C-alpha cells in the first residue's frame, strides 16, 4: 500500500517535470504582457500577431505542402519497395534492409549534411525541391518498416488464388494485396506526415532561398530570444500533434488487436 | 507475386539519396584539392586529433553520458511502475509519458529557455522567496537538463516494453522460494530488463551526443559540442573536408555502438516506438 502511494507520487513528479514547461508555455501564450513571469490578463493578441505574420504563414504553408507531398510520395515508393523487397532472395533482402536502416540509425546531422553535399555537388539550388527530396528520403524507411510486418502476415496463396480465378496481376494487387496491407500503409503514411511536420535538422541543412518550415522559423526566432508568438505557435502545434497522434494510436491499437 | 521490379524506384532512390551522399562525405573527408588536382590525405582526421577538437568530442561524450545516466536513474523506476500489474489506467499513463516525444523538439527546448532565463518563471518564483535572480541558462547544467527533458521518453519506452513481457510467474516462483523484494529485483527483474536498458541507453545517448540545437539554445553557443562543430564547418567556415571527417568519425562511433547494443538486444523488442 505504502509502496503504491510512493509509486504514484513518483510518477506524478515525473509527469509534472514533463508537462509543466509545456503547460506554462501554453498559459503564457494568453498573457497580455511580454513578460514570462507576470500575469497581466487574458489576451489573444499573440495569436492575432501569429496569424498576421507573413514569415510564419509562409513557413506554415511550406511545412504543410512538404509534409503532404513527401508523405504521399514516400508512401507510394515505400509500399511498392516493401512488396518487392519482401519477395527477394534472402541475402539481397538483408543487404537492402540494412541500407534502409541507415537513415534511421545515422545521426540526423550526418543525413542532413550528406544530402546537402549531394545537392550542391550536382548543382541543384537549395530550396523547396531539395527540402522535399530530403524529406522523402528520410520518410521512405519508416513506410517500409510499417508495411513489412503486414506483408509477413499476408497469406501468399491468396494472390495465386486470385490469379487462378482469372484476375490480372494488377487487379489482384488492388483487390487482394492492397486491402490486406492497408493498415500498415496508412500507419506508415501518418508516421511520415508527422515526422515531416516535425523535422528540423535535415530541413535546416537542405533549404535555402527563403524556403523555411516551422521548425526552422522557431529556431531562428528562439535564437534571437524569447517571443510570446512562439508560445501561441507551440500551443497550436501541440494540439495538432495531439490530434494526429490520437488517430495513429487508434489505428495501431486496432491493428494489434 | 514475383514482381521484384516494383521495388526498383526505391532501389534507385536508395542509391542516389542514401549511398551516394555518404560516399561523397567519405570522399570529402579523405581527398583534398591541391594544385595538382585531388589528392588523398588523412590530414582532416589528423586535425580532429588535435587537443582542441578532442576536447569538443570529450565534452559531448561527457554531457551526453551524464544525461543518459540521469535518464536511466529517473526513467527506470517509471518503467517499472508502469509495468507493474497493480497500476490502473496503465496505457493512459504510458501514453502521457511518451506524448512529449511527439511535440516539436525545438518547442520543448524553447520551453526551458522561457523558464530558465533571467526574468523567467523560475527566477520570479525564487525572487518571491527573496533569492536570486540567478543566471540559469547558458551553462552545462542547462544543456544536461535540456537533454534529459527531451530524451527521457526514449529511455522509459524500451525498458517498459521489455519489463511488460517478464512472466509474472517467474517473480512469484522466486517469492515462493523465499526471496525478498530486493533479491527478486537484483536476481530477476533487473537482469531480465537489461535488453531494454541497453536500447534505452542507445536511444538517449545517440541523439544527445549529436545534437546541436540544445547546446545552441540552452548553452548559448559558447559550449561547443560535436554537432555544433559539424554545423559550423558546413554553414560558417565552409570547411567541408574537415566537417566531413568529423561526420565520418561520429557516424562510425555511432554505428559501432549500435552494433554492440543490438547484440544485447537480439529480439529487437526494445527499440520499437509503438
For helices A2-27 and B51-83, the axis angle rounded to 10 degrees is: 120
Which CATH entry fits the domain spanning A53-256: 3.90.380.10, 3.40.50.460, 1.10.3720.10, 1.20.1730.10? Answer: 1.10.3720.10
Q: From the list A78, A107, A215, which residue is nearest B106 (CB)?
A: A215
Cβ within 8 Å of A, B 160-199: none
CA angle B262, B268, B270 (to 5 degrees): 100
Tell me if B25 and A117 make a contact (CB, 8 A cut-off): yes
Tell me if B18 and A103 make a contact (CB, 8 A cut-off): yes
Q: Name the one residue in this structure whose C-alpha cell is 490480372.
A: A168
Q: Which of A24, A60, A79, A84 is most worth mutating to test chain B (most B CB atoms within 10 A of its CB)?
A: A84
C-beta separation of B203 from B150 below 8 A: no
Q: From the list B1, B14, B103, which residue is nearest A238 (CB)?
A: B103
φ, ψ at B222 (rounded to 5°): -80, -15
Nearest Cα neighbor of A185 from A83, A79, A86 is: A79
Residue-level pLDDT at B238:
84
Residues in B touching A233 (Cβ below 8 Å): 107
Band of pLDDT at residue A141, cut at 50, 70 and 90 = very high
Please provide the DSSP assignment of B57-111 as one string.
HHHHHHHHHHHHHHHHHHHHHHHHHHHSTT-SSHHHHHHHHHGGGGS-HHHHHHH
Tell me if B4 and A99 make a contact (CB, 8 A cut-off): no
Tell me if B8 and A84 make a contact (CB, 8 A cut-off): yes
Grid cell of A179 as nine digits: 486491402
C-beta separation of A132 from A203 below 8 A: no
Nearest Cα neighbor of B78 from B97, B64, B65, B95 is: B97
Please provide the DSSP assignment of A2-27 as one string.
HHHHHHHHHHHHHHHHHHHHHHHHHH
Tell me if A156 and B1 make a contact (CB, 8 A cut-off): yes
Task: With a threshold of 0.90, tell me whether the complex ipTM lies above it.
Answer: no
Grid cell of A109 as nine digits: 546531422
CA dist B74 and B79 (Å) reads 9
Tell me if A201 and B213 make a contact (CB, 8 A cut-off): yes
Residue that wins the pLDDT comparison between A122 and B6: A122
Environment class of B168 (CB within 10 Å of its CB; exposed 0-12, middle 13-18, buried 19+): exposed
Residue-level pLDDT at B90:
75
- Calculate the average pLDDT of chain A: 86
Q: From the list A25, A81, A223, which residue is nearest B111 (CB)?
A: A25
Q: Is the pLDDT of residue A201 over 80?
A: yes
DSSP one-letter code for B188? I
Q: Does A4 touch chain B (CB under 8 A)?
A: yes
The CATH code belonging to domain B50-264 is 1.10.3720.10
pLDDT in tens, chain B (274 residues): 556 778 888 999 999 999 999 999 999 899 887 777 778 888 889 888 889 899 999 999 999 999 999 999 999 999 988 888 666 677 788 888 888 877 888 888 888 888 888 777 788 788 888 776 777 788 888 999 999 999 999 899 889 988 888 888 888 888 888 888 888 888 888 888 888 898 888 889 988 988 888 888 888 766 688 888 998 888 888 888 999 999 999 888 888 877 777 776 655 444 443 3
pTM score of the predicted model: 0.85
Residue-level pLDDT at B270:
42
Query: Which residue of chain A is at minimal alpha-carbon distance from B78?
Result: A11
Q: Is the pLDDT of residue A78 over 90?
A: yes
Which residue stretches of chain A are H helix?
Answer: 2-27, 45-52, 54-86, 90-105, 108-121, 128-153, 156-164, 169-172, 178-198, 201-205, 214-224, 228-256
- Where does chain B hold its CATH 1.10.3720.10 domain(s)? 50-264
Tell me if B6 and A205 make a contact (CB, 8 A cut-off): no
Cβ-Cβ contacts under 8 Å for A122 (sequence gap 6 or more) = none
Q: Name the one residue in this structure whose C-alpha cell is 526566432.
A: A221
DSSP one-letter code for B6? G
Which residue stretches of B164-235 are H helix?
Answer: 168-176, 181-184, 190-210, 213-217, 226-235
Residue-level pLDDT at B185:
86
Q: Does B274 touch chain A (CB under 8 A)?
A: yes
In whole angstroms, how far apart are CA B109 and each of A23, B62, B103, B218?
A: 14, 20, 10, 8
Grid cell of B178 as nine digits: 523465499
Q: Residue B42: helix, strand or coil by DSSP?
A: coil
Grid cell of B161 as nine digits: 516494453
Task: Return the sign of the alpha-carbon dihedral for residues A163, A169, A170, A172.
Answer: positive
C-beta separation of A170 from A159 below 8 A: no
Q: Name the one residue in this structure whose C-alpha cell is 540521469.
A: B70
Residue-level pLDDT at B223:
63
pLDDT tens-digit readout, A230-256 = 888 888 888 887 887 777 777 666 655
Q: Residue B38: helix, strand or coil by DSSP?
A: strand
CA angle B201, A138, A118 (to 5 degrees): 115
Amino acid at each position: 500500500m505504502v509502496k503504491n502511494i510512493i509509486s504514484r507520487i513518483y510518477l506524478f513528479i515525473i509527469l509534472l517535470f514533463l508537462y509543466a514547461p509545456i503547460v506554462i508555455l501554453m498559459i503564457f501564450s494568453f498573457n497580455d504582457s511580454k513578460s514570462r513571469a507576470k500575469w497581466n490578463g487574458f489576451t489573444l493578441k499573440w495569436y492575432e500577431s501569429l496569424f498576421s505574420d507573413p514569415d510564419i504563414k509562409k513557413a506554415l504553408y511550406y511545412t504543410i505542402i512538404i509534409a503532404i507531398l513527401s508523405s504521399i510520395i514516400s508512401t507510394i515508393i515505400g509500399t511498392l519497395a516493401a512488396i518487392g523487397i519482401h519477395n527477394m532472395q534472402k541475402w539481397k533482402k538483408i543487404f537492402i534492409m540494412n541500407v534502409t536502416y541507415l537513415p534511421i540509425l545515422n545521426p540526423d546531422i550526418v543525413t542532413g549534411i550528406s544530402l546537402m553535399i549531394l545537392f550542391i555537388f550536382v548543382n541543384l539550388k537549395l530550396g523547396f525541391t531539395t527540402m522535399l527530396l530530403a524529406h522523402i528520403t528520410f520518410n521512405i524507411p519508416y513506410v517500409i518498416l510499417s508495411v513489412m510486418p503486414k506483408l509477413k502476415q499476408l497469406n501468399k496463396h491468396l494472390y495465386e488464388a486470385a490469379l487462378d480465378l482469372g484476375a490480372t496481376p494488377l487487379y489482384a494487387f488492388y483487390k487482394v494485396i492492397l486491402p490486406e496491407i492497408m493498415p500498415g500503409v496508412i500507419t506508415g503514411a501518418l508516421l511520415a506526415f508527422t515526422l515531416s511536420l516535425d523535422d528540423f535538422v535535415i530541413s535546416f541543412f537542405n533549404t535555402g532561398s527563403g524556403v523555411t518550415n516551422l521548425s526552422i522559423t522557431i529556431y531562428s526566432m528562439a535564437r534571437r530570444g524569447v517571443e510570446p508568438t512562439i508560445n501561441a505557435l507551440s500551443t497550436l502545434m501541440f494540439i495538432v500533434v495531439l490530434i494526429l497522434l490520437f488517430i495513429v494510436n487508434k489505428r495501431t491499437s486496432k491493428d494489434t488487436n | 507475386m514475383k514482381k521484384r521490379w516494383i521495388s526498383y524506384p526505391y532501389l534507385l532512390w536508395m542509391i542516389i539519396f542514401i549511398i551516394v551522399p555518404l560516399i561523397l562525405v567519405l570522399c570529402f573527408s579523405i581527398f583534398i584539392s591541391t594544385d595538382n588536382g585531388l589528392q588523398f590525405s588523412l590530414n582532416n582526421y589528423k586535425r580532429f586529433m588535435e587537443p582542441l577538437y578532442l576536447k569538443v568530442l570529450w565534452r559531448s561524450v561527457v554531457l551526453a553520458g551524464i544525461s543518459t545516466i540521469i535518464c536511466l536513474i529517473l526513467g527506470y523506476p517509471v518503467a517499472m511502475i508502469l509495468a507493474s500489474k497493480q497500476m490502473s489506467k496503465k496505457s493512459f499513463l504510458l501514453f502521457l509519458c511518451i506524448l512529449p516525444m511527439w511535440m516539436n523538439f525545438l518547442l520543448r527546448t524553447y520551453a526551458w529557455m522561457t523558464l530558465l532565463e533571467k526574468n523567467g518563471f523560475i527566477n520570479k518564483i525564487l525572487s518571491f522567496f527573496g533569492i536570486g535572480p540567478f543566471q540559469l541558462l547558458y551553462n552545462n547544467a542547462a544543456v544536461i537538463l535540456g537533454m534529459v527533458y527531451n530524451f527521457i521518453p526514449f529511455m522509459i519506452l524500451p525498458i517498459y516494453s521489455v519489463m511488460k513481457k517478464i512472466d509474472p510467474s517467474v517473480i512469484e516462483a522466486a517469492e515462493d522460494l523465499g526471496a525478498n523484494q530486493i533479491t527478486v529485483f537484483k536476481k530477476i527483474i533487473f537482469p531480465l530488463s537489461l535488453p531494454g536498458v541497453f536500447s534505452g541507453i542507445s536511444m538517449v545517448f545517440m541523439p544527445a551526443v549529436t545534437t546541436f540545437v540544445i547546446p545552441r539554445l540552452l548553452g548559448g553557443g559558447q559550449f561547443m559540442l560535436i554537432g555544433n562543430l559539424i554545423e559550423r564547418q558546413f554553414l560558417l567556415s565552409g570547411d567541408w573536408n574537415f566537417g566531413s571527417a568529423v561526420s565520418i568519425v561520429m557516424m562510425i562511433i555511432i554505428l559501432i555502438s549500435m552494433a554492440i547494443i543490438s547484440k544485447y538486444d537480439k529480439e529487437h523488442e526494445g527499440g520499437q516506438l509503438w
